[in-house]
């Protein structure tokens, strides 16, 4: 909720909802997430944020339709209770955090792969992803053992830097007093 709530709210405001309406739509999206994430399976080839924006867009659209028809909606009290429970909020926050971290890692990985040679990326991949020993990697890529570890360290540092850049780009913007 802390990580994606502000993003959902910002989208709603961008789509010209008033503050109270944006808060309502944000709450509805978070409720939907609480239900959907129980059976959610992350696909690293797709963007979680794009999926979330689609869900938000549908909730926004539903909200506008309900305003036009002037029908009074009835809240799903079971969903409200679920979101209100500490356990559900913690579980939702953990799942959202994990998905956000996966997205950051995937984006950082793509950026770093563009910055290093394929040979250096392969050294990193074999050590860090495949879990091969340094000696095995050195033999496979025809490098000295010490060089293999230096390469891994440099690529790892680049990944950490990219993740920090991406995290700072997604940090919530503090509200300004009017």
- Splitting the chain (178 residues) into consecutive groups of 10 residues, what average pLDDT does each group show? 84 86 89 77 73 83 74 55 56 67 83 93 91 94 95 93 78 52
> pLDDT value at position 71?
45
Taking the C-alpha atoms of residue 99 and residue 116, their distance in angstroms, rounded to an integer, is 26
Helix axes 86-115, 145-169, angle to 10 degrees: 120
> pLDDT value at position 139?
96
Whether the CB-CB separation of 89 and 1 falls below 8 Å is answered with yes
Read off the tokens for 140: 């496979």
Q: Quick check: pTM over 0.85?
A: no
Taking the C-alpha atoms of residue 135 and residue 124, their distance in angstroms, rounded to an integer, is 13
Structural element, H or E, at residue 59: helix 48-69
Q: How far is CA 40 from CA 32, 109, 144, 169, 177, in A?
A: 12, 23, 44, 26, 38
> pLDDT value at position 158?
94
């Amino acid at each position: 909720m802390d990580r994606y709530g502000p993003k959902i709210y910002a989208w709603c405001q961008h789509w010209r909802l008033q503050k109270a309406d944006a808060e309502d739509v944000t709450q509805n999206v978070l409720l939907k997430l609480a239900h959907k994430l129980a059976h959610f399976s992350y696909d690293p080839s797709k963007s979680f944020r794009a999926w979330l924006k689609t869900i938000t867009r549908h909730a926004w659209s539903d909200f506008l339709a309900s305003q036009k028809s002037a029908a009074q909606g009835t809240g799903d009290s079971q969903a409200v209770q679920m979101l209100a429970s500490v356990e559900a909020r913690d579980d939702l926050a953990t799942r959202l955090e994990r998905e956000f971290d996966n997205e950051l890692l995937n984006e950082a990985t793509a950026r770093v792969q563009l910055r290093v040679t394929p040979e250096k990326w392969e050294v990193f991949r074999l050590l860090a992803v495949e879990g091969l020993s340094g000696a095995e990697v050195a033999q496979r890529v025809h490098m000295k053992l010490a060089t293999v570890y230096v390469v891994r360290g440099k690529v790892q540092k680049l990944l950490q830097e990219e993740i920090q850049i991406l995290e700072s780009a997604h940090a919530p913007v503090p509200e300004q007093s009017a």
